């Protein structure tokens, strides 16, 4: 049965977690393995890489899949409210408290999964309470006098360097070792570009359904999206495509519709630095030589360079020779 589940997961067309690259397929294999046990899992990776989607996969393939999955972004709840959100409170526990009290998220998660995202944003005083809850499998409501047993599985995630935070006194070492039994690292999008084409089409399909439109993307525009480094990862890709889908009047998103930094305009201008005044002829030659060298490093053939620079192939061959840039270049 486990092998059938592995096959189903790795071939899944569900849009929440794309795994074309070997590194992501290995990560999904690991997700299946940890789904069946209740060991502590710490998911690490940059912001926007899809840590939450991985938690959904663990939930989907766990024995708790029929139970609730509650997600808490520890950095999004004000510090003065997060304790009552997590642990709840008894009636009259503090000024402004609800008369009937409140059940906290640890209790609401019951025998499901509680996902504590951005665990590194928790204040130190709450880290102690979290540690006690994990160790004793019980919590105490604010203003409460008796412990309440909890059975939720807790999964943690962060985009911070927790070990560095320990050194700085911002994160408890004992809590770190308690939650970091199994570490799953989600790599940034720039390190798994094989996933980008499927992500693009998945996002476009979802947006077409959401906005009742029928738009597509050109091969050239898709290629620019693949080449871009995506510092904001999947979240940035999602937001970029949504903006393009809404603002582009044509039915097809083309290169000219892309933001300047993705088209490469910014990179092109930054690559040419002028530090002194030169005769125009000399300046033009220096710039031309630099552009040809950059194009040669990337495309390796005169035909491709000519296409990108929008000149005849014979012009490229002649200029490369005149600048003595290379002799053994491909002419195809």
Q: What is residue 318's predicted lDDT score, i.e. its pLDDT? A: 87
- pLDDT tens for each residue of 114-172: 999 999 999 999 999 999 999 999 999 988 889 999 999 999 999 999 999 999 999 99
Residues 236 and 312 in one domain: no
Confidence category of residue 95, pLDDT binned at 50, 70, 90:
low
Residues 278 and 261 in one domain: no
Q: Is 181 helix (H, G, I), strand (E, B) or coil?
A: coil
Residues 21 and 124 in one domain: yes
Residues 135 and 60 in one domain: yes
The answer as to whether 14 is a domain residue is: yes
The two beta strands, 102-103 and 88-89, are antiparallel
Q: Residue range 179-196: average pLDDT? A: 96
Q: What is residue 291's predicted lDDT score, i.e. its pLDDT? A: 87
The answer as to whether 55 is a domain residue is: yes
Residue 67 is encoded by which pair of tokens?
A: 């139970």
Question: Minimal CA–CA distance to 247: which of 220, 275, 276, 213?
Answer: 213
The domain total for the chain is: 3
For residue 231, what is the domain's CATH number? 1.10.8.60
Confidence category of residue 11, pLDDT binned at 50, 70, 90:
very low
Last residue of a domain, one of 218, 242, 266: 266
For residue 123, what is the domain's CATH number? 3.40.50.300
In this structure, the number of other CB atoms found within 10 A of the CB of residue 159 comes to 19
Residues 236 and 148 in one domain: no
Q: What's the order of all strands across the beta sheet hosting 113-117?
A: 69-73, 113-117, 153-158, 41-44, 182-185
Query: Is residue 31 scored above 80 in pLDDT?
Result: yes
Residues 211 and 258 in one domain: yes
* pLDDT-wise least confident of 10-19, 185-194, 275-284: 10-19
Residues 250 and 101 in one domain: no
Structural domain for 158, as ranges: 2-187
The answer as to whether 331 is a domain residue is: no
Instruction: Output the average pLDDT for the chain.
Output: 88
Residues 178 and 296 in one domain: no
The answer as to whether 330 is a domain residue is: no
The answer as to whether 38 is a domain residue is: yes
Q: What is residue 96's predicted lDDT score, i.e. its pLDDT? A: 64
Residues 69 and 163 in one domain: yes
Q: What is residue 14's predicted lDDT score, i.e. its pLDDT? A: 46
Q: What is residue 8's predicted lDDT score, i.e. its pLDDT? A: 47
The answer as to whether 24 is a domain residue is: yes
- pLDDT tens for each residue of 230-289: 999 999 999 999 999 999 999 999 999 999 989 874 444 345 566 677 788 888 888 888
Residues 78 and 124 in one domain: yes
Q: What is residue 227's predicted lDDT score, i.e. its pLDDT? A: 92
Last residue of a domain, one of 245, 266, 287: 266
Last residue of a domain, one of 129, 156, 187: 187
* pTM, to two decimals: 0.74
Q: What is residue 3's predicted lDDT score, i.e. its pLDDT? A: 53
DSSP per-residue codes, 47-93:
TTSSHHHHHHHHHHTSTTTTS-EEEEETTTS-HHHHHHHHHEE-TTS
Residues 149 and 225 in one domain: no
The answer as to whether 309 is a domain residue is: yes
The answer as to whether 105 is a domain residue is: yes
What distance in Å separates the CA atoms of residue 47 and residue 44, rounded to the nearest whole number?
9
> Which residue(s) pair with 155 in the sheet?
41, 115
Q: What is residue 9's predicted lDDT score, i.e. its pLDDT? A: 45
Q: Residue range 19-35: average pLDDT? A: 95
Residues 103 and 156 in one domain: yes
Q: What is residue 45's predicted lDDT score, i.e. its pLDDT? A: 97
């Amino acid at each position: 049965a486990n092998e059938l589940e592995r096959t189903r997961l790795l071939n899944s067309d569900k849009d929440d977690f794309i795994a074309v690259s070997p590194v992501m397929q290995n990560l999904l294999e690991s997700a299946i393995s940890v789904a069946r046990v209740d060991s502590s899992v710490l998911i690490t990776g940059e912001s926007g890489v899809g840590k939450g989607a991985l938690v959904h996969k663990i939930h989907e393939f766990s024995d708790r899949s029929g139970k609730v999955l509650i997600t808490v972004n520890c950095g999004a709840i004000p510090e003065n409210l997060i304790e009552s959100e997590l642990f709840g409170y008894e009636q009259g526990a503090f000024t402004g408290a609800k008369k009937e009290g409140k059940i906290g998220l640890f209790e609401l998660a019951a025998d499901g999964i509680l996902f504590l995202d951005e665990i590194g944003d928790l204040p130190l005083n709450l880290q102690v309470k979290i540690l006690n809850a994990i160790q004793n499998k019980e919590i105490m409501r604010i203003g409460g006098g008796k412990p309440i047993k909890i059975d939720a599985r807790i999964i943690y995630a962060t985009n911070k360097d927790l070990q560095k935070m320990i050194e700085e006194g911002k994160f408890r070492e004992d809590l770190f070792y308690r939650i970091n039994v199994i570490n799953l690292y989600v790599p940034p999008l720039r390190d798994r570009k094989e996933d980008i084409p499927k992500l693009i089409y998945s996002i476009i399909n979802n947006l077409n359904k959401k906005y009742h439109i029928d738009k597509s993307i050109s091969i050239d525009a898709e290629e620019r999206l693949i080449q871009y480094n995506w510092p904001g990862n999947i979240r940035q890709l999602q937001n970029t495509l949504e903006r393009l889908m809404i603002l582009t009047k044509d039915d097809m998103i083309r290169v000219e519709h892309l933001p300047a930094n993705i088209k490469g305009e910014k990179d092109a201008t930054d690559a040419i630095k002028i530090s002194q005044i030169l005769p125009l002829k000399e300046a033009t030659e220096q710039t031309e030589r630099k552009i040809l060298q950059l194009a040669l490093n990337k495309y390796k053939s005169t035909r491709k360079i000519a296409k990108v620079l929008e000149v005849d192939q014979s012009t490229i061959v002649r200029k490369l020779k005149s600048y003595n840039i290379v002799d053994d270049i491909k002419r195809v």
